Amino acid sequence: MSEPALALRDVGYGWPGRAGFRLTCPAFALAPGESVLLLGASGSGKSTLLSLVCGIVTADSGTVSVGGTDLKSLGAGRRDRFRAERIGVIFQQFNLLPYASVSDNILLPLRFAPDRRRRAGGTAEADRLCSALGLPEGVAALPAGRLSVGQQQRVAVARALIGSPPLIVADEPTSALDAATQDTFLKLLFERTAEAGSSLLMVSHDERLGDRFDRVIRLEDIVTTQRTAA
Ligand SMILES: Nc1ncnc2c1ncn2[C@@H]1O[C@H](COP(=O)(O)OP(=O)(O)OP(=O)(O)O)[C@@H](O)[C@H]1O
C-alpha cells in the first residue's frame, strides 16, 4: 500500500507566549489523490493546523508525515526545501512579493526545488497556468502588487500548482472571490490537481464549498483546542 499523502498522529501544538492556544489532533490522514475540505469557524485553529502540515511550525509532540517523511526528522533548512519540493501552499494572505513580476512569483518555489523545477519543464509553464486560471494576457510581466485581489489569488494558486507537487494545501483560497468566480476557480483547482494526481487539503469556514470534495470534515471532529488565557 502506498504511503498516505499526509498523516498526523497524536499531534500536540501550543503557540508560544501568553495567548495560550493549544491544539491536539489524535489522528488524521489524507490518501494520495484525495481531496478534503476542513470546515471550522474563525479562530478555531485551521491555519495553525495547516502551519503544522506545512512544517512552518513543528509539533510539540506526535508526528506529522508528508508522503511518509516525518517533518520533525528534518532540520529547519531541509524542511524548507522539502516543503518547496512536495507541498504547494496557498496562503490566506497569498504571500506574494508585490514588486516582483507575476511570473517570478509563480516560479519562486522552483528555485529551491530541483525535482519540481524539472517537472515544471521551464518558465513557459507559468504562462500556461496564468492563462488556464483565466488571468489576462500579458499579466505575467506585471508586478504582482498591481493586480486585483482576485487576480492575486489566482497567482497564488498558480504558484502552488507549478511543477505538480503531490500535496496542495489551501487556506481559505476563495475568500476574496464572488460566487461565480469562486466556482470557476474551484473547477480549475480541481482539474489541475486531478491532472497532477495531487492531494488537496483546503480549510474554510464556507460550507457551500463542500460538494466537489471527496470528504468534508469538521475541524472539531479531528482536533481538540484549548485556550489558557484571553
Ligand atoms: N502566530 C501566532 N502566534 C501566536 N498565536 C497564534 C498565532 N497564530 C494563531 N495563533 C492563535 O491560534 C488561534 C487560532 O488561530 P488560527 O489562525 O489557527 O485560526 P483559524 O481557524 O485559521 O482562523 P481564521 O478563520 O480567522 O483565519 C488564534 O486565536 C490565536 O490565539
Q: Which of 46, 58, 174 has most ligand 1 atoms within 8 Å of CB, for mutation?
A: 46
User: Would strands 61-66 and 6-14 be described as parallel, antiparallel, or unpaired?
Assistant: antiparallel
In a domain, 1, yes or no: no
CATH number at residue 217: 3.40.50.300
Q: Spell out the residues 6+ positions from residue 87 whose beta carbon is closer than 8 angstroms to its own.
A: 53, 54, 66, 165, 167, 168, 169
Which three-class secondary structure state does DSSP give residue 71? helix
Residue nearest to atom 25 of ligand 1 (CA): 42
- Dihedral angle of Cα 105, 46, 207, 31, to the nearest 10 degrees: 80
- pLDDT tens digits for the chain (230 residues)? 578 999 999 999 999 876 689 999 999 999 999 999 999 988 899 999 999 999 999 999 999 999 999 999 998 889 999 999 999 999 888 889 999 999 999 999 999 899 999 998 878 889 888 888 888 888 999 999 999 988 898 899 999 999 999 999 999 888 777 777 788 778 888 988 898 899 999 999 888 888 889 999 999 999 999 887 65
Pairing of the two strands 35-39 and 215-218: parallel
Place of cell 497564488: 156
Number of domains in the chain: 1
Q: Give the ipTM of the model, two decimals please.
A: 0.96
| Ligand 1 atom nearest to 219, measured from its CA | 21
Report which protein residue has its CA nearest ligand 1's atom 17: 47
Chain-centre distance for alpha carbon 100: 21
Range of the domain at 157: 6-227
**Can you say whether the dihedral through the CA atoms of 170, 81, 30, 185 is positive or negative?**
positive
